[in-house]
Amino acid sequence: MKAVVSVTMDDQLALHDIKVIYAKDKYFIVMPSKKNPDGTYRDVVHPINAAFREILNDAVLDAYFDELKRAAEEKTVEA
């Protein structure tokens, strides 16, 4: 896990605990979930279709990489 993020959509809905994951040489997001009594996990909230999942995934990852870049530039300026 690389990060845990919150997303606010149109100043109307806040979605917390989205995880940024890096595995098998790629980044992706995992939606908030809860553990079931049988030990499996179930998403608490999730996109209804693949198109919106891709939009959300791309937006979160773009913001994540922008923040990494900003932090690296800030660190360079401080050095």
Domain limits, the chain: 3-78
Which amino acid is residue 48, in one-letter code? Answer: I
pLDDT of residue 76: 85
User: How far, in Å, are 16, 33, 35, 47 from residue 24 at the CA level?
Assistant: 25, 21, 24, 23
For the chain, the first-to-last Cα distance in angstroms comes to 28
pLDDT digits (tens, 9 = 90+) for 33-73: 999 999 999 999 999 999 999 999 999 999 999 999 999 99
What is the fold, at CATH topology level, of the domain defined by 3-78?
Arylsulfatase, C-terminal domain (3.30.1120)
| DSSP for residue 45 | S
Is the model's pLDDT at 78 over the cut of 80? no
Q: What is the pTM of this model?
A: 0.86
CA distance 76 to 44: 39
* Residues 9-24: tens digit of each pLDDT: 999 999 999 999 999 9
